[in-house]
C-alpha cells in the first residue's frame, strides 16, 4: 500500500493544473497489516492534499486485490474519494513527463516532457497539416515547390491563411508589368476616357462626336446626323475642331461645317459616313458633307459612302451660299468618296476661292462606257486659286478632273486653277476644261494640268473646250501621261474666236491612242504651242491641226503612227521645226510624215525623218498658199520616191533646199558611171577622165546638185553639174591626173 500511494503522489506531482479523471492506481506492495488510513498516515498525507492548488483529484479509483483485508479497506478509501479497482504491480512513472494509457488501458508516462507538451498551447488545427503547407526555409528558397491545388503558368499569391496558392493572373499577364515605373491604376486614372476626349492641335481643342453630350454611336444602324451636327455647331461656336472616332455613322441629311472647324476622322475606311435616304436639299447644301459660305473649314481622314443616294447628293462640297457669300481657304484632305453613276460629283468646289483638294480617292463605280453620264470625280465650277493635287479617281462616268468656268462676268472667279499629280483610271474623259461664260468675256485663265496620269479613258485622255466662245487664256498642259484612249488630248474652240491664246501642250507622253483624230487634236484654235511631246503608237495621226493658227509645233518625237506624224489642214502661220518623226505610215504608205493641205504661211525646217522605207513622202504640200518654206530637213533612210512632193498654186514659196543625209560611198578603185539612188554620195573619176554620169532617181531637171573634188589633184576642179530626169553629169575643168573622188548632194 505504501508503494502504491507513493506512485500516486508522484503522478500528481507532474500535473500543473487541471482535473485528473479516472486515474488508476494499483494496491500491490502495500505493507501487510497496514490499513488505508495507516498507509496515508505513513506518507504524511494531510487532509488538505486533495485540496491542493495544483488541482482537484476526483474519481481516483483503487480496486483492491482478492483478499478480504484489502476489500475491507474500501470504505476507508471512499472517505478520500478513492475507489479500489484492483491491484497494480510495478507502477513506476518518470517525473515531469506527460502521462498516457498503454495498450492495456494502464496509465504510464510518455516520452514527451511537460515542457514539450506546453508548446502545443495556442494550436488551433492539426499541426502536421499546417507543417505540410509550410516551406522549408533552411536554404532560403522554395525549390521545386508543387502546389496540389495550383494551376500551371500562373502567378503565385498567399491566401488569407498565408498559404501559397495560384492566382487568376497568368505568367504572360504578369510579364506585362515589366518596366512599369509607378502604380498602374494611378497612371490609368490620369488618362482621359474616349467619351471625354479632348485633344489639342494648333491650339484648338477637339470635340469627340461620341461624347455623351452629343451621343453619336457609329454603329451604322440609327441616324447619327443630329448628334454630329450638334458637335459641329458647338465646335463652331467655341472655335474647336471635331473628332470622329472609328465607326460607321448613318447620315440622313447634309452635315454642314462652320467656319474655322476641322472635321477629322480616324482615317479612310476607319471613319465612314454612310448616306441614307433623307433631305440633302440644295443647291447650296447639295451634298453629304458641305462647307457653305465659310472660311478655314476642312474635312479630313473620313470616308463618304453615297451608294444608297443615287443623284440625291454629291460627296463633299465647298460652296458659295445662297446669299452670295463665297467659301474661302477650305480643304478636303485624305478622304474617300464612293458614288453611284448619276449626275453627281465626288468632290465639288462651287464658286469658292482658295480651295485645296489633296490626296483623296474618288470611285464612281461606273464600269462601262456611258456617254450620257454626268458623274464627275473632282470638279471646280469657277472660283479663284483652286488646287487639286495627289488625288486618285477611278471609274467615273464622265470627267475624272473637271474645270468649268463661272458664267459671271468676273475673270477672278475662274482663274488660277491647278490640277497636279493626280491619277485617273478608266474615266470617259481624264480631265476637262470647259468655258461657260458669255461671248466677249474671258471664260478661263491661268489653268494648269501638270504631272497627271490618265489610264484607259473611254473617250479622251484630256479635253479643252471653248464651248461658249468666251475664250481661254494661259492654259498649260505639261508633263502628263495618257495611256490608252480614243483621243489623247483634244482642243476644240469656237470658229473665228481670237480669245484662245497662250495655250501650251508640252512634255506630255501619249501611248496606245486608238481614235481617228490622233494623239493631239486641235480644231478652230487661234494660238497654241505643241512642244516636246512624245507620241508612241497612234491608230491615226500624231498631231492633227484643223483650221488653226498661229501654231508652234516643235521638238516633238512621233513614232509608230498609222498615218501622218503631223497634219496641218487649212491652217495658217505654222512653225513646224525640230521634230523627229520615226516610223509612220504603218497602215497606209500613201501618208507623208508631214502633210500640209491648204496651208498658208508656214516653215517646215530642221525636222528629221527616220522611216525605214515604206513612207510615201517625207513632206507633202498640197494646195499651199503663200510663204511656205520647207528646207534643212534630214531624211535618215532610203525613200522609195523623192522625199518632197509639192503641188502649190503660187511661186512665192521656198522649196528645193531640203537637206537629205542618206548616202553611198563608192569604193576606191571603182571608177566610171554609177547608180546611187540617195540624196548624197561619192563617186570616183578615173585618171585621164574629165566627167562622170551618176544615175539617181531622186534627181529631176529642177534639182540642185552640189559636187566637190575630195582629192588633192590640183587639176581636178569641178566645172559644172548638169541634172536631168533621173541622172546628173559632173564635169571637171581638166582631165584628172589620178583617180579623183567626187562628193555630191542632191537638193530638191
What digits encode the pLDDT tens for the residues 488-517?
A: 999 988 765 656 677 899 999 999 999 889
On the question of pLDDT at 646 being above 70, the answer is no
Q: Which residue has the higher pLDDT, 183 or 298?
A: 298
Q: Residues near 268 by Cβ (< 8 Å), separated by ≥ 6?
A: 301, 302, 303, 334, 335, 336, 361
What does the pLDDT read at residue 499? 64
3-state secondary structure of 530: strand
Burial status of residue 538 (CB atoms within 10 A of its CB: 0-12, 13-18, 19 or more): buried
What does the pLDDT read at residue 33? 53
On the question of pLDDT at 5 being above 50, the answer is no
Strand ranges in 192-268 using DSSP code E only, listed in sequence order = 200-201, 204-208, 219-223, 241-244, 247-251, 255-256, 262-265
pLDDT digits (tens, 9 = 90+) for 205-248: 789 999 999 999 999 999 999 999 999 999 999 888 999 999 99
pLDDT digits (tens, 9 = 90+) for 612-624: 444 567 788 877 7
d(CA 574, CA 570): 11
What does the pLDDT read at residue 12? 39
Confidence band for 249, pLDDT divided at 50, 70 and 90: very high
Interval 578-600 mean pLDDT = 76
On the question of pLDDT at 690 being above 60, the answer is yes
Calculate what percentage of the chain has a pLDDT beyond 90: 39
Q: Which of 30-34, 179-183, 403-407, 457-461 has the highest mean pLDDT?
A: 457-461
Interval 386-408 mean pLDDT = 92
What does the pLDDT read at residue 495? 63
What does the pLDDT read at residue 327? 95
- The residue among 490, 481, 678, 658 whose CA lies nearest residue 577 is 658
Residue 308 is classified by DSSP as G
Q: Average pLDDT over the chain, rounded to whole?
A: 78
Lowest mean pLDDT of 85-94, 113-122, 525-534, 552-561, name the range: 85-94
Confidence band for 150, pLDDT divided at 50, 70 and 90: low
What does the pLDDT read at residue 638? 55
Q: Residue 300 corresponds to which cell in the numbers above?
A: 479630313
CB 263 within 8 A of CB 242: yes
d(CA 568, CA 544): 6
What does the pLDDT read at residue 396? 95
Burial status of residue 80 (CB atoms within 10 A of its CB: 0-12, 13-18, 19 or more): middle
Cα–Cα distances in angstroms (integers) from residue 737 to residues 226, 729, 733, in the given order: 108, 19, 12
Q: What are phi and psi of 111, to 5 degrees?
A: -75, -10
What does the pLDDT read at residue 87? 41
Q: Residue 268 corresponds to which cell in the numbers above?
A: 479612310
Residue 724 neighbours by CB distance under 10 Å? 12
Query: How many residues in total does the chain contain?
Result: 748
Q: What is the pTM of this model?
A: 0.65
Helix (H) or strand (E) holding 361: strand 361-363
What residue has cell string 502567378? Answer: 155
d(CA 47, CA 43): 12
Q: Residues near 575 by Cβ (< 8 Å), separated by ≥ 6?
A: 550, 551, 552, 553, 554, 602, 603
What does the pLDDT read at residue 271? 98
On the question of pLDDT at 81 being above 50, the answer is no
Confidence band for 134, pLDDT divided at 50, 70 and 90: low
Query: Half-sphere exposure of residue 221, counting CA atoms within 13 Å on the CB side?
Result: 2
CB 227 within 8 A of CB 235: no
Q: Are strands 298-300 and 241-244 parallel, antiparallel or unpaired?
A: unpaired
Interval 426-446 mean pLDDT = 79
Confidence band for 159, pLDDT divided at 50, 70 and 90: confident
Nearest-5° Cα angle at 477, 291 to 455: 80
d(CA 304, CA 269): 9
On the question of pLDDT at 131 being above 70, the answer is no
Interval 53-75 mean pLDDT = 40
pLDDT digits (tens, 9 = 90+) for 86-122: 344 445 677 877 777 777 767 777 777 878 777 777 7
Residue 60 is classified by DSSP as B
What does the pLDDT read at residue 631? 77
What does the pLDDT read at residue 107? 72
- The residue among 567, 571, 602 whose CA lies nearest residue 588 is 567
Q: Which residue has the higher pLDDT, 174 or 619?
A: 619
Q: Residues near 716 by Cβ (< 8 Å), separated by ≥ 6?
A: 685, 709, 732, 734, 736, 737, 740
What does the pLDDT read at residue 702? 86
What does the pLDDT read at residue 312? 77
On the question of pLDDT at 667 being above 60, the answer is yes
Cα–Cα distances in angstroms (integers) from residue 135 to residues 145, 148, 447, 503, 513, in the given order: 8, 14, 87, 94, 88
What does the pLDDT read at residue 513? 93
Calculate what percentage of the chain has a pLDDT beyond 70: 72
Q: Which residues of 230-249 are buried (b: 16+ CB within 10 A; e: fewer)?
A: bbbbbbbeeebbbbbbebbb
What does the pLDDT read at residue 86? 39
What does the pLDDT read at residue 660? 52
On the question of pLDDT at 1 being above 50, the answer is no
Task: List, in sequence order, every residue forming a beta bridge with 622; answer none if it has no partner.
Answer: 597, 647
Residue 259 is classified by DSSP as T
What does the pLDDT read at residue 23? 39
Q: Which residue has the higher pLDDT, 17 or 411?
A: 411
On the question of pLDDT at 292 being above 80, the answer is yes
Confidence band for 64, pLDDT divided at 50, 70 and 90: very low
Amino acid at each position: 500500500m505504501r508503494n502504491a500511494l507513493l506512485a500516486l503522489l508522484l503522478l500528481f506531482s507532474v500535473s500543473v493544473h487541471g482535473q485528473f479523471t479516472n486515474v488508476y492506481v494499483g494496491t500491490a506492495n502495500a505493507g501487510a497489516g497496514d490499513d488505508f488510513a495507516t498507509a496515508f498516515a505513513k506518507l504524511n498525507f494531510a487532509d488538505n492534499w486533495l485540496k491542493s492548488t495544483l488541482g482537484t483529484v476526483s474519481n481516483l479509483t483503487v480496486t483492491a486485490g482478492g483478499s478480504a483485508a484489502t476489500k475491507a479497506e474500501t470504505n476507508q478509501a471512499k472517505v478520500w474519494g478513492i475507489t479500489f479497482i484492483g491491484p497494480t504491480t510495478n507502477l513506476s512513472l518518470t517525473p515531469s513527463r506527460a502521462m498516457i494509457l498503454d495498450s492495456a488501458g494502464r496509465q504510464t508516462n510518455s516520452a514527451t516532457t511537460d515542457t514539450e507538451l506546453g508548446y502545443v498551447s495556442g494550436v488551433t488545427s492539426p499541426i502536421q497539416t499546417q507543417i505540410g503547407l509550410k516551406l522549408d526555409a533552411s536554404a532560403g528558397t522554395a525549390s521545386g515547390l508543387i502546389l496540389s491545388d495550383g494551376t500551371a503558368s500562373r502567378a503565385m499569391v498567399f491566401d488569407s491563411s498565408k498559404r501559397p496558392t495560384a492566382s487568376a493572373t497568368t505568367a504572360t499577364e504578369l510579364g506585362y508589368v515589366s518596366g512599369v515605373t509607378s502604380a498602374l491604376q494611378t497612371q490609368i486614372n490620369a488618362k482621359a476616357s474616349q467619351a471625354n476626349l479632348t485633344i489639342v492641335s494648333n491650339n484648338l481643342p477637339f470635340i469627340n462626336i461620341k461624347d455623351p453630350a452629343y451621343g453619336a454611336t457609329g454603329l451604322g444602324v440609327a441616324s447619327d446626323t443630329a448628334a454630329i451636327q450638334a458637335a459641329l455647331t458647338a465646335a463652331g461656336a467655341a472655335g474647336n475642331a471635331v473628332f470622329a472616332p472609328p465607326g460607321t455613322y448613318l447620315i440622313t441629311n447634309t452635315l454642314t461645317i462652320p467656319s474655322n472647324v476641322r472635321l477629322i476622322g480616324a482615317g479612310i475606311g476607319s471613319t465612314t459616313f454612310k448616306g441614307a435616304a433623307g433631305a440633302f436639299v440644295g443647291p447650296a447644301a447639295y451634298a453629304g458633307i458641305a462647307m457653305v459660305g465659310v472660311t478655314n473649314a476642312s474635312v479630313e481622314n473620313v470616308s463618304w459612302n453615297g451608294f444608297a443616294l443615287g443623284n440625291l447628293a454629291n460627296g463633299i462640297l465647298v460652296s458659295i451660299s445662297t446669299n452670295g457669300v463665297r467659301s474661302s481657304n477650305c480643304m478636303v484632305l485624305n478622304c474617300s468618296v464612293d458614288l453611284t453613276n448619276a449626275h453627281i460629283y465626288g468632290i465639288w468646289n462651287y464658286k469658292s476661292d482658295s480651295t485645296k483638294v489633296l490626296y483623296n480617292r474618288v470611285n464612281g463605280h461606273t464600269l462601262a462606257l456611258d456617254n450620257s453620264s454626268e458623274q464627275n470625280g473632282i470638279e471646280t465650277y469657277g472660283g479663284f486659286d483652286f488646287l487639286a493635287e495627289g488625288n486618285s479617281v477611278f471609274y467615273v462616268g464622265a470627267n475624272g478632273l473637271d474645270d468649268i468656268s463661272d458664267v459671271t462676268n468676273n475673270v477672278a472667279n475662274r482663274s488660277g486653277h491647278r490640277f497636279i499629280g493626280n491619277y485617273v483610271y478608266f474615266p470617259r474623259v481624264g480631265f476637262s476644261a470647259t468655258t461657260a461664260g458669255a461671248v466677249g468675256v474671258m471664260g478661263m485663265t491661268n489653268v494648269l494640268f501638270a504631272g497627271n496620269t490618265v489610264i484607259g479613258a473611254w473617250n479622251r485622255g484630256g479635253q479643252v473646250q471653248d464651248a461658249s466662245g468666251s475664250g481661254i487664256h494661259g492654259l498649260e498642259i505639261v508633263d502628263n501621261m495618257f495611256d490608252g484612249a480614243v483621243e489623247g488630248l483634244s482642243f476644240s474652240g469656237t470658229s473665228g474666236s481670237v480669245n484662245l491664246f497662250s495655250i501650251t501642250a508640252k512634255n506630255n507622253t501619249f501611248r496606245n491612242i486608238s481614235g481617228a483624230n490622233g494623239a493631239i487634236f486641235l480644231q478652230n484654235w487661234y494660238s497654241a504651242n505643241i512642244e516636246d511631246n512624245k507620241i508612241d503608237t497612234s491608230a491615226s495621226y500624231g498631231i492633227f491641226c484643223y483650221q488653226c493658227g498661229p501654231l508652234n509645233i516643235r521638238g516633238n518625237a512621233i513614232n509608230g503612227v498609222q498615218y501622218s506624224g503631223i497634219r496641218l489642214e487649212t491652217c495658217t502661220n505654222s512653225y513646224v521645226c525640230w521634230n523627229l518623226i520615226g516610223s509612220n505610215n504603218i497602215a497606209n504608205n500613201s501618208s507623208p510624215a508631214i502633210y500640209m493641205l491648204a496651208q498658208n504661211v508656214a516653215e517646215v525646217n530642221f525636222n528629221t525623218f527616220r522611216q525605214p522605207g515604206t513612207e510615201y513622202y517625207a513632206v507633202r504640200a498640197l494646195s499651199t498658199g503663200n510663204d511656205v518654206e520647207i528646207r534643212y530637213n534630214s531624211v535618215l533612210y532610203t525613200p522609195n520616191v523623192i522625199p518632197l512632193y509639192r503641188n502649190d498654186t503660187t511661186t512665192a514659196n521656198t522649196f528645193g533646199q531640203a537637206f537629205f543625209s542618206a548616202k553611198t560611198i563608192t569604193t576606191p578603185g571603182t571608177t566610171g558611171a554609177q547608180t546611187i539612188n540617195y540624196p548624197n554620195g561619192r563617186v570616183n573619176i578615173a585618171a585621164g577622165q574629165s566627167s562622170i554620169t551618176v544615175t539617181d532617181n531622186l534627181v529631176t531637171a529642177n534639182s540642185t546638185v552640189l559636187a566637190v573634188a575630195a582629192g588633192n589633184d590640183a587639176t581636178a576642179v569641178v566645172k559644172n553639174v548638169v541634172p536631168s530626169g533621173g541622172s546628173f553629169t559632173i564635169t571637171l575643168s581638166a582631165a584628172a591626173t589620178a583617180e579623183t573622188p567626187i562628193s555630191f548632194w542632191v537638193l530638191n
